[in-house]
Structure 1
């Protein structure tokens, strides 16, 4: 556990907790973020509102340094559940690597690709094809941004190894400085980073990309195959609690922003009026829009198989895997019905009737 960066342990008087229930099962759940922010509020709501208590689960949320770290720690038994990008985890699942990770996804969460190729909002560049001869910023040359950036360029008819130059610009303030000083013409970053750039005064504009690439599945819930086999009730229970948390947050975004700030005070903006701070927090909640999809309606955790096959093709074309990976190796659908076994209307009603004063 020495590689894990932070642990979130929250004890609450649960709303709707089980009276006289046996002691809850303690589990670790890894989230691929160095710092907490409003984007993870559905996870926080699942615990704060007692949905996890109702499943007999005592959960420690652990913030880790990215999806690779999440997958490794789950595979080695340091956590029962991980929320990780499949683009990274699937690479480590393939046969033929030195030590393939015995993992599988059990609940889909993000239905759109969180990675985009963007330009400063005032840039004259309107399409990926216009990036020929330009410089593209990524956090590091070995990061996932390289895989996505090259795929976007190839789809636009460019040669990513010849037509552009990738430049490592780090993250946060260092990346913003690179954009302001015009060290790079475009960037390949993840969704919450782009939102943060805008909030910090360096807004970016996403360039249109191929629809298949835009809809690649992203950060979702995984576990080892052994846990899926031996503890399906635990996994379904966590997935159901998170689904409730998402439904609550979609119905009352303000409550979930305030909930995040209450549990993680450091995530609350330090400057601005009360209204300005809330506006900034609500902008981070736009990431939840990708947690649902018209193709599956109101259901949660459903896997859209053709998109996962597109993910396999994406990794194959990028040289990250040696041969196609079947959907059955990447995910299991056996828990999806259990994850959706709850009264969604009751959760929405609870959210609309929630007293915000309890979070102040």
Structure 2
């Protein structure tokens, strides 16, 4: 009996070792300098073993921004990147220097960029910003592109009616707002949440509906990878979809998971309850990872919105002619990405023991 048990244990060990050896090791680039709760679905995909189930061993590398992610994926330094599409689509234009990339799984269904003012500002519309100073991280940042589009839509001339001022990010940007160096800012969603947590809350100004639904950060890869290694891309996107489902069903677990893997992301001050409350504020970004038009379907691109993105870039003078939707993304993997038991993931999330993360 003991001999049989020993043989079985040896077989199990060999099988586990074989599976580990067979796992495809990859780097995945995320466009953030620092980890925070907003990337928890990626963390959950790894921590909960969803990537293991796909035979993938992923290391997440934090990059300086979406442009850096796109460039690194295009040069083959990582097979998968999570990047905002504006700069990537600009690089997809016909020409000798085009980026040979395409998006293969949609993640963010709403535009993460907004034009905002301090909560106590008397300004209530974009049109009222005429003659004002608008802060962006840098004059070459994506915020400039979006800010100009919002101003044009409000009937203003962005090159004549306002002044753009580079104010950096984080504490530097907060100081610029407190000292009234700028009257408004064009920043991304998680940055705005961070400003509120730091005691400098901002209020978003209404923008044209068509601009709010421009697609944003999604998964991209080289066309060669899409053609030659679809199993890897489907597996990663499916694991991320599971991670998102888990996180939407149990947000506190995913906040604690982020802190466990990236301890530096945990707030340093406050009671445990206050820290968790701050962490949960960052999870509101996941609300844009789904869309009512698609229901529970994950990863599907909405073509009309990508055409709106192409038009947005065309009007801004960043592309010379529209980029076809088929050049920007592929929906060929959507069926396989959604081929999993969503009810089982939801059950796992609701039964998850939070104490295991403390």
Q: CA deviation at 1:88?
A: 1.1
Match runs of 1:47-126 below 5 Å = 47-96=46-95, 98-126=96-124
Question: What is aligned with 2:340?
Answer: 342
| Contact preservation (8 Å) 1:145, 1:188 | yes
Say yes or no: does 1:206 pair with 2:204: yes
Give how far 1:47 is off.
Answer: 0.2
Task: Summarize deviations over 1:194-245 as a string: whole Å, max 9, x none.
Answer: 0000000000000000011110000000000000000001100000000000
Corresponding residue for 2:176? 178
The residue aligned with 1:241 is: 239
Structural RMSD (CA)? 1.1
Partner residue, 1:356: 354
Give the equivalent residue in structure 2 for 1:14. none
Contact 1:121–1:205 (Cα < 8 Å) also in 2: yes
What is the DSSP-based 3-state SS (H/G/I as helix, E as strand, rest coil) of the residue aligned with 1:201? coil
Which of 18-27 and 220-229 deviates more?
18-27
Residues 22-46 of structure 1: CA distance to partner in whole angstroms, max 9, x if unpaired?
5201111100000000000000000
The 5 A counterparts of 1:211-290 are: 211-290=209-288
Q: Is the 8 A contact 1:18 1:54 kept in 2?
A: no
Separation in 2 of the partners of 1:20 and 1:63? 30
Residue equivalent to 1:316: 314
Partner SS state of residue 276, structure 2? helix
| 1:269 alignment partner, SS class | coil
Q: CA deviation at 1:20?
A: 6.1
**Separation (CA, whole Å) in 2 of partners of 1:77 and 1:298:** 32
How far residue 95 of structure 1 moved from its aligned partner, in angstroms, is 1.1
Higher helix share: 2
Equivalent residue in structure 2 for 1:133, among 131, 134, 137: 131
Task: Output the CA distance in 2 between the equivalents of 1:19 and 1:293.
Answer: 40
Check conservation: 1:39, 1:192, Cα contact below 8 A.
yes
Asked if 1:40 is matched to 2:39, the reply is yes
| Contact 1:25-1:57 within 8 A present in 2 as well | yes
Cα deviation 1:241-287 (Å, max 9, x = unaligned): 00000000000000000000000000000000000000000000000
Q: Is the 8 A contact 1:93 1:100 kept in 2?
A: yes
| Counterpart for residue 150 of structure 2 | 152
1:13-28 alignment to 2 at 5 Å? 21=19, 23-28=22-27
Alignment check: 8 A CA contact 1:138 1:167 kept: yes
What runs of 5+ residues in structure 2 fail to find an aligned partner? 1-14
- Name the larger-Rg structure: 2
- TM-score, length of structure 1 as denominator length: 0.94
**Structure 1 stretches (4+) deviating beyond 4 angstroms?**
17-20
Residue of structure 1 equivalent to 2:7: none
Distance, in Å, in 2 between the alignment partners of 1:18 and 1:253 is: 31
Extract unaligned runs of 5+ from structure 1. Answer: 1-16
Q: Alpha-carbon deviations, 1:167-188, whole Å to 9, x = none?
A: 1111111111111111111000
Q: Which residue of 2 is the match for residue 12 of structure 1?
A: none
Secondary structure of 1:162's counterpart equals coil
Task: Give the whole-Å Cα distance in 1 for the aligned partners of 2:28 and 2:155.
Answer: 41
Q: CA deviation at 1:18?
A: 7.6
Aligned length: 343
Q: Distance in 2 between matches of 1:246 and 1:325?
A: 30
Classify the secondary structure of the residue corresponding to 1:205: strand
